[in-house]
Structure 1
Amino acid sequence: MNKLILLPALCIFFSFWSSAQVVAGDAIQYPPCIEEEIPHYNAYKVSNPPQIDGRLDDLVWQTAPTSPRFRDLISGSKAIHDTRAAVLWDDEYLYIAYWIEEPNVQATLTERDALIYNDNDVELFIAGKDAYYEFEINSFGTIYEVFFIWEDSDSYKNGVYDSIPEFSSDQPGRKPFSGVGYQPHPRGSRIGYWNWDFPELRSAVHIDGTINDDSDRDRGWTVELAIPWSGMSALTLADNRSLPPKDEDIWRMDFSRFNQYKEAAPAEDSGGWVWSPHGVWDSHVLECFTYIHFSQKDVSLFKRETDK
């Protein structure tokens, strides 16, 4: 979600939780979410990796713990349609799954790095210490990616990233980014690389219904990702975290869904739904990302609880 959306002030300052949002005048508290409310999730390992076809019928996905139903990005209220995510991993890949309830599956954009948030989409953010990665995909399977580096970071100020050709100052698609609805972020601005593609990333979408057909009712669509650890060296440059993760390592990730429609009033529907609500219209608040705990325990040993 990168577009600057001119929402009324009421939406930007909408009460997420009464104690978390407004502190002095119109100032938004940092961070705009409550630490105790941020989800924690155990990502289990797989010995038999899933087939990346978007269907999510592999046993590992049927066994893996799923997130709770996504909630509104700003208010944290229940969304009209169900959306859930799950995370698995092995020594080669990080695996991500999304289940998206959608009675009328729609998409228009087919060109890579088109502004996918102008369609209904799901999104993934992966945070590093001094950088983070954004991924978006629509029901056509069209991908949008950006790599962001914090300008206040030692890695950026000392020219560490400039020494890497793909992040040099003359790269096409390189431009400053100050955030969306949460400005200014205490860390300031970022440099975004809109032409950057995650190396060897695999993705697939499956539609349970018929896309762009208003004459019938669809169940929705599912998304499956395999993201190689080998491509994350730039993301982990500042803290030298282990790739792949070690047992009990903790990463921060964000999982979201954005819609070109909203539930009718009086519902508190911003059009953005997430695993971990941010309290503001901005996906780029890393301090509100879900905590992902990596476990060496095989997912086959995990018994899924009944979805809530």
Structure 2
Amino acid sequence: MSRIFLSLMAILSLPASAMCDDETDALRHVDIPWPPVSEEVIQRYTAFRTVDAITVDGKLDEKTWQEVPRSPRFADLIRGHRTVHDTRAAVAWDDKYLYVGYWIEDPLVTARLTVRDEPIYTDNDVEFFLAFDNAYYEFEINPFGTIYEGLFVWESEYETAGFSKVPELDRSRKEVISVPFNGVGFQKHPRGLRTGYLKWDFPEAKTAAAIDGTVNDNSDRDRGWTVELAFPWSGMKSIALGDSRSIPPEAGDTWRMDFSRFNQFKEAPP
């Protein structure tokens, strides 16, 4: 069985109701050296190659998902503490796709947004980030299966790496919408400014969510929901410009990804 090694940072954002307290605010703005996380403490995950077919329906009931290792339980993003609800992720791959699965414990599954590229990060969601040398991809999905995605390119590499020659990223075209982005919390990044292309869609990606319970019904307790994603390697080549990695990967390669969850916690009644 082939392997690629993926740096995995499994994080869970604080519930919205807790985001404005003084203690949390102080933690978010503390002065720390760069980088804020040392290489030694970044979680590692080994992604195994699968030979079995995967149907992307959100259920995670294929043999592959029963056999691949799951990540450790996600940790709180701000304090690093154990989270209220269990959340885990797993990764597999074959010649055509990178597969990602999420198991999300939630006694009260809620969702509001139903239109693609609405601000899913204001809903309960799980998120996936895929980092290349000069750009990174962001993906979010809520229990309805509504998605939000975007591509972020480091401005210093926009011309030199050739992103300006990609039609859907060519800012001289009126239909291309780009937004300068200085990071969450508008913290200055040592690499400088990045530009977000929020209408960029990952070519031929397959995405699905499945709910184990009753969505938006607080009269009962739910088990939670699951997410299943498949990103074709062919769709990565235009966003990996200036990147020397092999796509598809070779056994033993290291990729950087981020797996996270945002949840506005509300306990279901007994």
Relative to the length of structure 2, the TM-score reads: 0.87
2: CA distance, partners of 1:12 / 1:152: 31
Q: Is the 8 A contact 2:106 2:222 kept in 1?
A: yes
For 1:296, the equivalent position in structure 2 comes to: none
Aligned-residue offset at 1:14: 1.9
Q: How far is 1:240 from its partner?
A: 3.3
Question: Equivalent of 1:201, from 182, 205, 218?
Answer: 205
Q: Which residue of structure 2 aligns with residue 163 of structure 1?
A: 165
Q: Which residue of 2 aligns with 1:134?
A: 138
Q: Which residue number corresponds to residue 104 of structure 1? A: 108
Find out whether 1:228 has 2:241 as its counterpart: no
- SS in structure 2 at match of 1:234: helix
Matches within 5 A, 1:70-149: 70-149=74-153
Partners of 1:234 and 1:30 lie apart in 2 by 29
Q: Given residue 54 of structure 1, which amino acid in structure 2 is its aligned partner? A: G
CA distance in 1, matches of 2:167, 2:85: 43
Give the superposition deviation at 1:182: 6.3
CA shift for structure 1 position 255: 0.1
User: Any idea what SS the aligned residue of 1:14 has?
Assistant: helix
Q: How far is the alpha carbon of 1:74 from its aligned partner?
A: 1.5
Residue 11 (structure 1) aligns with:
24
1:1-308 map, 5 Å:
7=20, 10-14=23-27, 27-153=31-157, 156-158=158-160, 160-169=162-171, 170=173, 171-181=175-185, 183-261=187-265
CA-atom RMSD, angstroms? 2.1
Alpha-carbon deviation of 1:49? 2.5
Amino acid of the structure 1 residue aligned with 2:70: T
Q: 1:117 deviation in Å? A: 0.8
Amino acid of the structure 1 residue aligned with 2:240: T
Aligned counterpart, 1:288: none
Q: CA deviation at 1:185?
A: 1.0
What is the CA–CA distance in structure 1 between the aligned matches of 2:210 and 2:111, rounded to whole Å?
13
Q: Following the alignment from structure 1 to structure 2, what is the Cα–Cα distance between the partners of residues 237 and 13?
A: 38
Q: Distance in 2 between matches of 1:37 and 1:45?
A: 25
Q: Which has the higher helix share?
A: 2
Name the amino acid aligned to 1:38. I
Identity %: 55
Distance change (3 Å), C-alpha of 1:13 and 1:38? farther
Q: Read off the aligned partner of 2:222 and give its amino acid letter.
A: D
Structure 2: tracts of 5 or more residues without a match: 1-11
After superposition, the C-alpha distances for 1:109-141 in whole angstroms (9 at most, x for unaligned) are 000000001110000000000000000000000
